[in-house]
Amino acid sequence: MVIIMNDIKILVDKIKENRNITKEQLEELLLIDDEEKIKYLFCSAREVCDKIYGKEIYIRGLIEFTNYCKNDCLYCGIRRSNAWADRYRLTKEQILECCDKGYELGFRTFVLQGGEDMYYTDELICEIVGDIKSRFSDCAITLSIGEKSKKSYQRYFDAGADRYLLRHETADKAHYSKLHPNELLLENRMECLRDLKEIGFQVGCGFMVGSPFQTIDTLYKDICFIKELKPHMVGIGPFIPQHATPFADKKAGSVDRTLRLLSIIRLIEPCVLLPATTALGTMHPQGREMGILAGANVVMPNLSPTAVRKKYELYDNKICTGDEAAECRSCLQNRIENVGYKIVTGRGDFKNV
């Protein structure tokens, strides 16, 4: 038994020391079926995170402000050809109301996420960002509104946006083309990420775990891309099929694999901000707590008005769609305290140590 555990210790220590992983090591960690060994991986990653971020978990208030989208990503429930989606847009005033509520609840980061909706011109996005910033100058604003030109990104930054989330979805070209229509290109998405970094945003990339056609090879490329881009955040969560998409009958990604990947990313990029996602919480009642124990340090409860929550249906059975913002906040607080961590009020910026 001791000898067997030695294997995993040597492997994990090597990855931690090198801040790198080979494809063979990745395969080994993803395929191990010994629970004790996997526990060791999770605990090691959590320890790495504790050294940098302590017992503190950062919160972001997620405002899903539009579910109109001009894109047609095959996995996504708000894709343009989903005629069943009940479309909505929030006005600037409604978005500001969400922020008001969020601020009172202790949120100091607001994440504005939506489909690629041309109704929100660059002017309007800048106006919204500017208004939030002037009302809440101690808050960070994260945008997650897809692929734009470098010029547009610069305008958002100049208007006061601090961070940008744009999951790369997969770093393998052939895989990318199986998840997206022809007009969407991996090169373009990667260029967007590089542009965002150059401009000075804190940048987040990421991918779904268990997306259709994903392999250990494509996952290895994801890790290599993360190493190369050096993002401040990495958002990963299980793929969950949505009934009105071409991937309705595909298998969902596994909680266990998501947790292992969270740990691996933490070992390789110790300082990175890693959310325990809503998708993880959807796949398992304690998914987010398990994510934290595997090395995640961010949670993103929903601040969207209850009336629109169900309509932002990227995937089926999304949790918390009936709750008020305050309920989500206190529910998460309890969950996090139950596993020995605490939510902190503050912008929760990336620590570079």
Asked if 225 touches ligand SAH (CB under 6 A), the answer is: no
From the CB of 69, what's the least distance to ligand SAH, in Å? 6
Tokens representing 347 are 């912008």
**Judged by CB under 6 A, which of 65, 164, 201, 239 binds ligand SAH?**
239
- Residue number, 252 or 268, with CB nearest to ligand SAH: 252
From the CB of 134, what's the least distance to ligand SAH, in Å? 25
Asked if 315 touches ligand SAH (CB under 6 A), the answer is: yes
Asked if 76 touches ligand SAH (CB under 6 A), the answer is: yes
From the CB of 326, what's the least distance to ligand SAH, in Å? 24
**Judged by CB under 6 A, which of 279, 294, 299, 320 binds ligand SAH?**
279
From the CB of 75, what's the least distance to ligand SAH, in Å? 4
Q: Which stretch binds ligand SAH (CB under 6 A): 109-117, 177-185, 193-201, 255-263?
A: 109-117
Rg of the chain over CA atoms, in angstroms? 19
**Judged by CB under 6 A, which of 40, 53, 58, 75 binds ligand SAH?**
75
- Residue number, 108 or 189, with CB nearest to ligand SAH: 189
CB atoms within 10 A of CB 170: 25
Q: Which stretch binds ligand SAH (CB under 6 A): 86-94, 104-112, 238-246, 286-294?
A: 238-246
- Binding residues for ligand SAH, rule: CB under 6 A, are 75-76, 113, 115-116, 144-146, 166-167, 169, 208, 237, 239-240, 242, 279, 314-315
